[in-house]
Structure 1
Amino acid sequence: MKKIILYSLLLFSKIVFCQSVDNNEKYFKFQYDTIVEKTFVLDLEKLFDKTQIKELDNLTAEFEKETSIEIAIITFDDKYKSDEDFHQNTLFVANWIGIGKKELNNGILIGISKKSRKIRIENGDGIVTILTDEETKSIIDKSFIPNFKEKKYFEGTKEGLKKIIEHLKMKLKK
């Protein structure tokens, strides 16, 4: 069911976040241009080719079938001035899409912005007990960042995704 909701969001290939403040809350407006394939990967920044998107999508889809944990990857093509703006956007997308099973809150969103040199992983409340913020930061620092520094965005994303999956499988076995 959540994959269907994710699919509906991912029918569109361009996201533009327009922020405005109203009653001290940030609201985001999406502008949609084109239709994309059904996938757990939305590459707005065009970091990956179609084969790479398919490979990342296959990893996430297989893992979801095994565990019910949904992992989505989105690359943002906007430039963010602050970590807080980037954090707010990834959190909004994770909540708006509804990644993970609602009753389990077991979704993960990996948000990447090459332009802003930022990465953020949003873990649902049902995930934080088996993938803590410290463990998430370690995976970012050891798997994503070294590859990103060498402009190997697909390799870093794939390696980081595999580490997340490996970690979660290990924790779920216990």
Structure 2
Amino acid sequence: MTLALLIAGAALAGCGVPAERIADAPARASAKPFPLPALTGRVVDNADLLVAEQEAQLSVALATTERLTRHQFVVVTLPSLGGRSIEEVGLTLGKGWGIGRKGYNDGVLLIVAPNERKVRIEVGCGLEGALTDSEAQAIIDQRILPGFRKGRMAAGIFRGSAAIIREIDEPGVTP
């Protein structure tokens, strides 16, 4: 699948900004509630962008990161955003799944929606210092999108995930 143009976003969502201000109000009024997919593991590949071996390899990397840092990182691909903005979907997933430790809000989501050509890194408040908006955007622009533009979705996901792991695995980040 070639994605010539991919709209990207990175945010420290939910960090003192009410969800109502982040969400796209007209889309919210016309769209059905976003159905929360099941959190089946550290990789939720509902858009089928990864083969089983790739999903397993990525799951091991994410589990290792969580074991070493205690920061929870989940990769999710969605066949559709259901008429919602990727920002709203990211907040819904993060809160609904409870990504990150309670009281620390130190979770990260990498969200890929290929049909809408959107990707987002959703970062919990507890990791703001380790993974800033500008760093997340640089990961999207420099690590994820080049692979996506060449039709290499798995490569973009792996390169982006590795860059996120490097950022959240810095010494002094774990509370």
1:100 and 1:107 in contact (8 A); partners too: yes
* Equivalent-residue separation in structure 1 for 2:111 and 2:79 (angstroms): 11
Percent identity over the alignment is: 25
TM-superposed deviation, 1:31: 7.4
Describe the shift of the 1:99–1:173 C-alpha distance in structure 2 as closer, same or farther (beyond 3 A): closer
Partner of 2:131: 131
Return the TM-score normalized by structure 2: 0.75
Cα deviation for residue 80 of structure 1 reads 6.2
Output the TM-score relative to the length of structure 1. Answer: 0.76
Q: What 5-or-longer segments of structure 1 have no aligned partner? A: 1-18
**Which residue of 64, 68, 71 maps to 1:69?**
71
**Using a 3 Å threshold, how does the CA distance of structure 1 residues 60 and 31 change in structure 2: closer, same or farther?**
closer
Q: Which residue of 1 aligns with 2:35?
A: 30
2:20: which partner in 1?
none
- Are residues 173 and 42 of structure 1, via their aligned partners in 2, closer, same or farther at CA, if it must alter by over 3 Å? closer
Check 1:115–1:56 CA distance in 2 against 1; reply closer, same or farther (3 A cut): same
Alignment of 1:31-70 (within 5 A): 38-70=40-72
Show structure 2 runs of 5+ residues with no match. 1-26
Q: Pairwise CA RMSD of aligned residues? A: 2.6
Consecutive aligned runs of 4 or more in structure 1 exceeding 4 Å deviation:
none
- Alpha-carbon displacement from aligned partner over 1:86-106 (angstroms, at most 9, x marks no partner): 211121111110101011110
Measure the CA separation in 1 of the matches of 2:70 and 2:81: 33
Give the number of the structure with larger relative contact order, counting CA–CA contacts within 8 Å between residues 6 or more apart.
2
1:153 to 1:101, Cα distance in 2 relative to 1, 3 A:
same
Cα deviation, residue 167, structure 1: 1.9
Amino acid at match of 2:68: E
Q: Number of aligned pairs?
A: 148
Structure 1 partner of 2:29: 21
Shift of 1:166: 1.1
